[in-house]
Amino acid sequence: MTEFPISSDLIGTRNHAHREALEDDYAALGRKLARAGIDIDTVKAKVAQFSVAVPSWGAGRGGTRFAKFPIPGEPTNIHEKLEDCAVIQQLGRTTPRVSPHFPWDKVSDYKALREEAAALGLGFDAVNSNTFQDQPGQAHTYANGSLAAQDAATRAQAVEHNIECIAIGRQLGSTDLTVWVGDGTNFPGQQDLGRSLDRYLEAAAQVYAALPDDWRMLLEHKMFEPAFYSTVISDWGSSILAAQELGPKAKCLVDLGHHAPNVNIEQIVARLHRFGKLGGFHFNDSKYGDDDLDSGSINPHQLFLVFNELAEAEANPRDGFNPSYMIDQSHNVTDPIESMLSSAETIAQCYAKAALVDRAALHEAQEANDTMMAFQALRRAYNTDVAPILAMARMEAGGAIDVLEAYRMSQYRPRKAQERKAVGLGAGIV
């Protein structure tokens, strides 16, 4: 029996208040879609099976390198983070898995942690290794790199940490290891650009060799930060070359904030898919760099175009297309639960809109070089308000029609502020 943190009576009462209006909106949208030959219940069923993982570290307040402003009731350990993630899943019903980060989420008993999560209605997604920070008592510093460090003992330590993450992930039921390294340089000449990649590839191959048969290694590229002149896996080109060299279980992971400004990310999606290397996504939004803002808050159209490529990929699968989707955001000025509820809804909305694209009409217009009609096929879907489809799917799954209203009325955060100890630096990323 799942023990969700919010009272189901509260959700039931609020849903009762909103139900009639929702049924009205759903019926109206259903008639509109039917005129275009689309069955709304089929779309709803598709949306109901869509899910995106939440990052354990996203449950804490993030910050910048200038300051961090924790909020009362913020989680301070993985147990409290799981409880917050359970709230997001209970109300929104699109986030049934949590992606843990090690050593941040280290515990002594992972079997017990898996059971604790399951009791809250949660499972685990990709495990994330961390070789971008030093931990107390660590033998070798990552100040000069980890998998690509000049120092062989440092590389060995980073390899060993990744292998430990796989061992932890096996106990948690994960099947993906996400590897993002901060390795890179701040000055021209600081490191040899070719040789640092050689070192990375050699060390990454040792991690790859430790992957169980059904596991994938997801390589996450990032153009800059913390290194500001060069990073070892800087872009999707470096990422796919590394993944191709490592082998079939190595795939590329696209974090929406990790590119040069104005890069055509949807095209990157199509390219990676073409070569069977699209492994996963970290959803967020950005205005300037790795801003980690809420998904779709700056450029919802880009998010839709990314999902449009994913829908194309889903229709033409290559090499077991099964990308792992995760939210990767830093909530500096909002309640992280509210941001993730709102972001998960935005992501699912873009998924639903992409499912509405009339692909036959799109392909026909593309074949005929009819630019305007091809564009309109996308535009029509993008302009459709799919909120009633999502709300109906949510309600039928036991979630809340209005997730933010139910969350606020539950007084969850004020209750946790009474129960939980005050945060030091909290659980979010800076």
Q: How far is the CB of 139 from ligand RM4 (least distance, A)?
A: 23
Nearest to 227 by CA among 194, 183, 261, 267: 183
What is the spatial distance between Cα 327 and Cα 58, in angstroms, rounded to a whole number?
8
Nearer to ligand RM4, 5 or 280 (CB): 280
> How far is C-alpha 421 from the geometric centre of its chain's CA atoms?
28
Q: How far is the CB of 329 from ligand RM4 (least distance, A)?
A: 10
Q: How far is the CB of 163 from ligand RM4 (least distance, A)?
A: 18
> Who's near 145: CB < 8 A, 6+ residues apart?
154, 181, 183, 184, 191, 196, 232
What is the β-pairing status of strands 176-179 and 123-124?
Answer: unpaired
Q: Which residue has the tokens 């800087």?
A: 234
Nearer to ligand RM4, 61 or 222 (CB): 222
Q: How far is the CB of 36 from ligand RM4 (least distance, A)?
A: 38
- Comparing every residue's Cβ against ligand RM4, the nearest one is 180
What is the β-pairing status of strands 230-231 and 184-185?
Answer: antiparallel
Q: How far is the CB of 255 from Mn ion (least distance, A)?
A: 4
β-partners of residue 244 are none
Nearer to Mn ion, 120 or 254 (CB): 254
Nearer to ligand RM4, 121 or 428 (CB): 428
CA angle 118, 250, 111 (to 5 degrees): 20
Of these partners, ligand RM4, Mn ion, none, which one is at the site of residue 128 (CB under 5 to 8 Å by kind)?
ligand RM4
Q: How far is the CB of 328 from Mn ion (least distance, A)?
A: 4
Of these partners, ligand RM4, Mn ion, none, which one is at the site of residue 285 (CB under 5 to 8 Å by kind)?
none
Sequence-ordered alpha helix ranges (H) in 102-192? 110-119, 152-172
Nearer to ligand RM4, 101 or 353 (CB): 101
Q: Residue 420 gets which letter from DSSP?
A: S
Nearest to 234 by CA among 200, 275, 202: 200
- Contact residues toward ligand RM4 (CB under 6 A) are 101, 128, 180, 220, 222, 255, 282, 290, 328, 429
Nearest to 290 by CA among 234, 225, 218, 221: 225
Nearer to ligand RM4, 93 or 282 (CB): 282
Nearer to ligand RM4, 283 or 412 (CB): 283
Q: What H or E segment, with its residue span, contains residue 251? A: strand 250-255
Q: What is the phi/psi pair of residue 323, to 5°?
A: -65, 145
Q: How far is the CB of 180 from ligand RM4 (least distance, A)?
A: 4
Of these partners, Mn ion, ligand RM4, none, which one is at the site of residue 429 (CB under 5 to 8 Å by kind)?
ligand RM4
Nearest to 94 by CA among 397, 411, 406, 409: 397
- Contact residues toward Mn ion (CB under 5 A) are 255, 282, 290, 328
Q: How far is the CB of 220 from ligand RM4 (least distance, A)?
A: 5
Of these partners, ligand RM4, Mn ion, none, which one is at the site of residue 391 (CB under 5 to 8 Å by kind)?
none
Can you read off the two tokens belonging to residue 63?
């910050």
What is the β-pairing status of strands 176-179 and 127-129?
Answer: parallel
Asked if 78 and 122 touch (Cβ cutoff 8 Å), the reply is no
Q: How far is the CB of 429 from ligand RM4 (least distance, A)?
A: 5
The total of other beta-carbon atoms located within 10 Å of residue 190's CB is 14
Nearer to ligand RM4, 48 or 177 (CB): 177
Nearer to ligand RM4, 180 or 351 (CB): 180
Q: Which residue has the tokens 């009409």?
A: 361
Of these partners, Mn ion, ligand RM4, none, which one is at the site of residue 221 (CB under 5 to 8 Å by kind)?
none
